[in-house]
Amino acid sequence: MSIFLNSDYGRNKLTVKQILTTPVLFFAFGFGSGLAKKMPGTMGTIAAIPVYLAFIQADIVLYSILTLLVCFFGIQICDKAAKQLGEHDFGGIVWDEVAGYLVTMWFVPFSWNAVLIGFVLFRIFDILKPWPIKWIDQKVEGGFGIMLDDLLAGLFSAIILYCIIQFWIS
């Protein structure tokens, strides 16, 4: 029984080996987490947690720069991956989840409670896609479209997480 979704991916039928050995696809698939048979978006968000833990070792300025780079290069990564797969916003492309989670956690002081609550909030917004996230997901094409709905889900999650921390946890 394989942990991977398929033996080939996208309309262009890329193999697991191609995805794991092509740098753009490796990043687009969240270091391989997007290959998961079930819940690749959730697995991509889980893969974002170690990235977040590495980034928070720096000050807020460097965290901000790194997060902006993840977002900026994510547009190109997701766009190129979609083209190589022959399919827009293929479920295994989870770099947008990595970026969205980093946005969720951007101005939040570190705590394991914040990591968990941020994870849950981001997954809720990413899955349910309330307006305008759903509209963006359906209408905006290319790498920018793949990234934008998750960045907005991250922003909504960040606002709620910040409020939770300010008013209930601290």
Tens-digit pLDDT profile for residues 88-124: 889 999 999 999 999 999 999 999 999 999 999 999 9
Q: What is the pTM of this model?
A: 0.93
Helix (H) or strand (E) holding 168: none
Dist CA 81 CA 93 (whole Å): 7
Name residue, tokens 């083209």. 83
Bond preceding residue 132 cis, omega within 30 of 0 = yes
Dist CA 88 CA 84 (whole Å): 10
Name residue, tokens 């947690």. 49
Cβ contact 77:27 at 8 Å = yes
Cβ contact 67:124 at 8 Å = no
How does residue 11 score in pLDDT terms, banded at 50, 70 and 90?
A: confident
User: CB neighbours of 60 closer than 8 A, spacing ≥ 6?
Assistant: 107
Dist CA 165 CA 145 (whole Å): 30
| 3-class SS of residue 4 | strand
Above 50 in pLDDT, residue 1? no
Dist CA 128 CA 51 (whole Å): 24
| pLDDT tens sequence across 119-162 | 999 999 999 999 999 999 889 999 999 999 999 999 999 999 99
Name residue, tokens 């996230």. 133
